[in-house]
Amino acid sequence: MFVFAQLSDIHLGQNRAGDGGARAGERARRVMRFLDRLPGCLDAVLMTGDIADHGTDEEYKEFLAIAGDRDEGPPLLTCPGNHDVRAAYRRHLLGEDGADRSDAVNQVHRLPGATFLMCDSSIPGRDDGALTAETLAWLDRELTDDPRDVPAFVVLHHPPVPLHLPYVDGIRLTDERSLVALLERHPRVAAVLCGHAHTAAATTFAGRPLVVSPGTVSTCTLPWEGDEPLDYDLPPAVAFHVLDDDNRLTTHFRVIP
């Protein structure tokens, strides 16, 4: 059994009502403290993008401070979102100079029991998403060359299907057919995990579960819930994913009051 948590869209630095990012920081700290207090049951924690709201150095420094010392506890695996900035992300989260690189930030993590392919679906300067030909080739290569016969998770910020949320559907991942074709070649991909939509949602994609993490900073409202696209009063939440020995993924959602 492999158990991991997923949080998303903390948007550090989001200046809500002139608070200078205090509210976003408090929510992110609350969620990380909640996860860190769990008694040693998690094998990993995923953070699926929109870590920073503007991609400034200060926002990534705040993230590192909130994430704390990760030498102890489960590894924290991240991917960028549309609000992140690749150069700053590389500099602060990967320890790379990053100034001379603008290509996608893709990372593979081969943990005992599962492989996580953290894909960069952002398009610099835009809110919608796409996987470049280079990212798709990288993904195909990593899945093909992995000598271990363990389940894999494809993790990216932008959901590749409509979620019936007009606000999000207009900025989802486009050209998803190439990802469908890729997943059809790799049956050991157990699920696709996303953020971006600021709502706990579950559907299917290429015959696999597609789970969308709830947002930390806000919640996207459904068309029948009102006219405002985002709710800032609902509390943050996380997903707990359980992959059992039959490779069945079960997801529980928990609100953090």
> Rule CB under 5 A: which residues touch Fe ion?
9, 50, 81-82, 196
Residue with Cβ nearer Fe ion (120 or 142): 120
How far apart CA 219 and CA 230 sit, in angstroms, is: 6
Residue with Cβ nearer Fe ion (98 or 214): 214
- Please answer whether residues 253 and 241 qualify as being in contact, where contact means their C-beta atoms are separated by less than 8 angstroms: no
Question: What minimum distance in Å lies between the beta carbon of 126 and Fe ion?
Answer: 11
Question: What minimum distance in Å lies between the beta carbon of 5 and Fe ion?
Answer: 18
Residue with Cβ nearer Fe ion (90 or 196): 196
Question: What minimum distance in Å lies between the beta carbon of 1 and Fe ion?
Answer: 30
Question: What minimum distance in Å lies between the beta carbon of 51 and Fe ion?
Answer: 10
How far apart CA 79 and CA 149 sit, in angstroms, is: 24
Residue with Cβ nearer Fe ion (48 or 115): 48
Give phi and psi for 27, each to the nearest 5. Answer: -65, -45
Give phi and psi for 39, each to the nearest 5. Answer: -80, 80
* Amino acid at residue number 69: D
Question: What minimum distance in Å lies between the beta carbon of 203 and Fe ion?
Answer: 18
Give phi and psi for 191, each to the nearest 5. Answer: -170, 165
Q: Please report where in the chains the tokens 């150069």 appear, as a residue.
A: 87
Residue with Cβ nearer Fe ion (115 or 199): 199
How far apart CA 219 and CA 200 sit, in angstroms, is: 9
